[in-house]
Amino acid sequence: MYRVILFDLDGTLIDSSDGIIKSVLYTLQFYGIEESDTDGLRRFIGPPLSESFEKFYAFSKEQAREAVDKFRERYNVKGYLECELYPDTKQVLTQLKEDGFLLGVATSKPEITARRILEQKGIADLFDEICGATMDGRIEKKADVLQELLRRHPEYVKEEMVLIGDTAFDVHGANALGIDSAAVGFGFGNVQEMRLAGAVEIFDSMQELKEYFIK
């Protein structure tokens, strides 16, 4: 049924919580905000950063844009390296590739950063396309990223595509473009929310994901 498998990055391929949380704390401290609930900052993983600063700390749109720049001061130097591939990720991606699937990344993380992470983890070459957000905010939400990916690859047929993510934001983004979505249960999102949003399947491990696509 599917020929093109797209993956979100944070919470789907990599556990990026350490670097993101430390960089959010760095940003909040700049604004004089002391946050003791560091585990609660996991909610910053997935959605566009500017939206999270507005929603959770009542930043104005201008402040939120500035906060994203401050976040990147730390994250783009060392925070992006503070992450780990989930177990079996490279092995499963390799097997999917060998089985003939076209693989892609569709992330709300800036594309340049996503490429650096994937290269550092040794899996960038497994993907036929890596598509992410732009630094200027022109492309930011998951639906925008998917639209850009389709612009780059007009040969892709939506009915043959599926997006694998870890939050309801991924599912909603895929829905907006008429693309199927599935989800991993080991990321940062709520499984029930993803089911209600329309995820066709929930995978509890990368091996389970592989078994779904490779019969």
Pick the closest to residue 65 from 133, 114, 134, 137 (CA basis).
137
- Using DSSP's 3-state secondary structure scheme, residue 215 falls into coil
Element of type H or E holding 73: helix 61-75
CATH class for the domain made up of 17-81: mainly alpha
Strand partners, 84: 15
Q: Torsion angle of alpha carbons 26, 30, 32, 35, nearest 10°?
A: -10
Give mean pLDDT in consecutive 10-residue pieces for the chain, a chain of 215 residues: 96 96 97 94 88 96 96 95 97 98 96 95 98 92 97 98 96 98 95 97 97 94
Say whether 14 sits in a helix, a strand or coil: strand
CATH 3.40.50.450 fits 4-15+83-213, yes or no: no
Q: Domain locations in the chain?
A: 4-15+83-213, 17-81
* Residues in CB range of 94: below 8 A, 6 or more apart: 126
Q: Find how far residue 49's CA is from the centre of its chain.
A: 12
Task: Please give the pLDDT value at position 200.
Answer: 96
Residue-level pLDDT at 160:
98
pTM over 0.85, yes/no: yes
What the block records as the tokens of 66 is 């500035």
